[in-house]
Structures are given as structure tokens and as C-alpha cells.
Amino acid sequence: MSRNIYDIDPAGNVLCTYIGDSQESLRAQRTKIPPLHALLHAFLPAGYPHSVTPDYLAYQTYDSLQAFFSSITSLLANRAVLEGLGVGDASSSPTGALILKIAGDTISRVATILFAHRLGTAIEPECKFFRFLADLLNDGAQLLDLLTPAMMPYYGPKLGVIVGAGVLRSWCGVAANASKASLSAHFVAQRGNNLAELNAKEASQETVVSLLGMLVGSLVVKVVQDRQVVWGLMVGLLGVHLLMNYWGVRSVRCRTLNRQRATMVVREWLEKGRVLGPEEVSRRESILQLRGIGWGWGWTWFGRMASKSGEYTGTCEFGTYGDVKALAGWKGGYHSYEFETDGYFMGICHRGGNFRMTIALKEEEEEEEEEEEEEEQGKRMSSRASANSSLEAWFDAVSHAYHFDSALEDGLESHYENEVPLLGYTSEEQKGTVFAALAAAGWDLETNALETRSPVRVRVGDGKKVPIPSEKNLIRQPQVSKKD
């Protein structure tokens, strides 16, 4: 009895069909691929669409469109910079233009280091925000570039414009590259795809789009010469560019729970008793989170919370034990309280309609034997967070904020002392059920996307000292004697 054998690709498409068993009767029939599909295979990841998440195509479409408009605006901006540096002006000094270029590059590289140091750990948890911020910075740099010709007679202001544009562009480079890497990892998560291959295909897409943008931009630069028309065209193109980028990041359905998404999920469960999935949360979440800025600019804009009535609003932050004690010790009209659980310390202070919380997570206790530790980790898996996890602490913080109206009736101590009976806080068993429901809804509970800076843990008890090795236990490099 003859049988058919097939060669298939990662997506399950038949590449070749073999008919017959013996070598004499074996026939191979290759599947004909339409030319358009063959062309698309050069720009899409292998095994598409099964090898990537469903939101990949929408994001890449908008990302390609924004890259097209950005290529056109970059040509207009570069022409303005060349005019400002004196290209075409016989009275301009090449040395002066070179010094301006060196000064701009030097300061922008220092700005790159500072930006990466200050905000590097926050980019992955807030990759959608920083991806959009990168294009805001880039567009701001291009608008500064358009001012360069107007500063032609003034060396100082021209230097300031060039340096400012370089700093914005350097910040854009850090934010864009880091956030793109995080988004690429999201697209191949749990799909078994090659991340390097996906990045290579994305580079191919950007190359084609940039070439088309340069061709159209060359025509635009040739035709448009009037400065007022250039400004009007630039503003219009930048507006479309930002709109495409906004729609792109809006289409991404992240599975990690950062501060905004975790707050939305927990609050929805507290109000309606249901768990939101990544798709629904992506439609609700804010990209810029402008309403979240409070109590000073900084990390707190990602941790905005509110009470059930909305009368009390505030922020929550992860910090050190000293931060908790300092927050609880605020004077001058502030009402404060601090408490401790098995997994963390929390400080709460309040004045008027504002409150602030600080969480200091405790260090997880180590198992005596590795086998017991592995067994315990296997029990938890991704369906339930440990007592020391940032997710459980954030869950409690959102619950405290939600019940702030009731807590103030008896004092802030009721946040801890009167948990379940009066305020209806969530028990450990209920939280375990909620975490299991979160995992079932598609959320990634193993990735910590709540802490936007280097994690700090509090060790309770005697500090463990690292033993200093004795001299005889030190491994010394053999010394090679030199012979004359």
C-alpha cells in the first residue's frame, strides 16, 4: 500500500509531496509558491504567522509607515543642519563647523551614558511608553535642526541648538533600541522562534522602507525650498509619524504585568470580581500615562493609584527599608503608618486628597537543600506568586488604595489591623486563586515588570557574611620567571 510523505515548514505548509514507496516509483511534487508569497518570505519571520504573536503584523505595519515618514523628515532636517553649518556659504569656516560637530557629538555621548544609567532598568517594564517616547525625542531633535539656519550669524545659540538636538537624538537612540529589543522578545515569546532571525527580518523591512522614504524625500527636498513651506510640511509629516507610532505601540498586547497593567487588573477584580486578559488591558492602558504624574517627577508616574470613590489619589513605589521609615516619619500635617508582613514592609502617609506608599520587599529565605527548593518552585510555577514577590506586594498596595475611603474612618492602622472583617481585603487563599486566574488568562507572572530600578531586598536578622578565603585556598596564577 503506497503512502504519501510531505516536507512541511514550521507553519505547517506543504513544501514537497512524495508519492510512492520504492526508489523507482518515488515521485516528488514541489508546491508552487506564488511570487508575492515568495517575496514576503524574505521579510517575514520563518513560520509566520505561527512563529510570532498575533499582534506582530499590526505593529510592524505601523512601524514601517512611521519609518517611511521619518525618512522624509530626516532629509529635510539634515538639509537645514548643513545650511546652518555653512554649506554653500563662502564666508563660513570649515573649522568652525567641525568644532560645532565635535561639541555636539561629545555632549550627546555623555547624555547617552546618563540616560542609560538613570532609566535603563525602566525601559523593559515600560517598553511601550519608551518606544513612543523615542519618536517624540527624535521629532523634537528634528525641529531643533530646522532652527539651525536661523542661528547662522550667532555662534552661541547655534551651538546650543546643535547640542540640544544631539542630546535628544542620543536619548532617542537608547530608548528606541532598548524598547525594540524588549518588543522583539515579546513577539517570539513561547513561540519557539529565533529572536535573531526576527531582528534580521525587521532590519530588512526597515531597509526597504527607508529606501522608499529616501526616494520620496529626495523629491520633496528638491521641490520644497521655501522655509515656511518646509516648516508646515515638517509639522504635518511629524504629526503623521507620531500617529503611526502611537497606533503601533497601542496594538501591542504585552503579557507582563507592569505597574499600570497590574493596577488595572487588580482594581477590576476588586470592583467586579473578574480578571482582565492582555488584549482587553492593552485597549485600556495609557501610553504616555500623563495622568499618573504626581508628587514630583520621577519613577512615581508609573505607579498611580486611587481610592474606590476617586476622592483620594496617590502613588506607590518600591524602595529600601530606610525609605519606608522615612515615609512613615513625615511630619507637617501628614498622617502616616507603617506595617510588616511576611513578605514586605509598607509605609503609608496621607494629607488631604493625596497619599503615598512605599514598599520594601524582604529577601526570600533560602532552602536548606537544593532539592527542596526545586520542589517548592515546581509547586508555585507561574500560577501563584511567592510571599516575597513584587506582584503580591503590589496587589496589597492597590487593595489598600482602593479601600482608602474606609480606612480613614478608623485611621490608617485599619489598613493592616482590620483587614478581612471590616474592609474586605483579600486573603492569601483568594490571592492564590486570583494569580491562578491571571496565569490562565495569559499573563506572564514569572517576569518581574513592576520594579523600574535595580531591585533592593531587606534582610531581616543577622546579616550573612561572605567568608574570606584563607591564603592557602587562594588560587594563584603561576609566575613565569624571565630568563636573561
Query: pLDDT tens across 53-93, in order?
Result: 899 999 999 999 999 999 999 999 999 988 888 776 666 77
Q: How far apart are CA 114 and CA 453, in angstroms?
A: 14
- The grid coordinates of residue 24 equal 523507482
DSSP state of 482: P
DSSP state of 481: P
- The grid coordinates of residue 402 equal 482602593
More reliable by pLDDT, 384 or 255 = 255
- The grid coordinates of residue 254 equal 504585552
Q: What is the per-residue DSSP string for 438-457?
A: HHHTT-EEEEEES--S----
pLDDT of res. 333 = 58
- Nearest in space to 317 (alpha carbons), one of 332, 330, 305: 305
DSSP state of 365: P
Q: Is the per-residue pLDDT at 106 higher than 70?
A: yes
Taking the model in full, what pTM does it have? 0.81
Q: Is the per-residue pLDDT at 233 higher than 80?
A: yes
Beta strands (DSSP E) in 236-372 are 256-258, 304-306, 313-318, 335-340, 344-351, 354-361
Q: Please, which residues bridge with residue 362 across strands? A: 458
Coil, strand or helix: which one is 463? coil
Q: SS3 for 36-57, per residue? A: HHHHHHCCCCCCCCCCCCCCHH
pLDDT of res. 300 = 43
Q: Is the per-residue pLDDT at 145 higher than 70?
A: yes
pLDDT of res. 190 = 58
Q: At which residue does the C-alpha cell 509607515 appear? A: 65
pLDDT tens-digit readout, 177-192: 999 999 999 998 655 5
Distance in Å from the first CA to the final CA of the chain: 83
pLDDT of res. 153 = 75
More reliable by pLDDT, 6 or 363 = 363
pLDDT of res. 58 = 94
CA 380 vs CA 170, 254, 455: distances in Å: 42, 22, 21
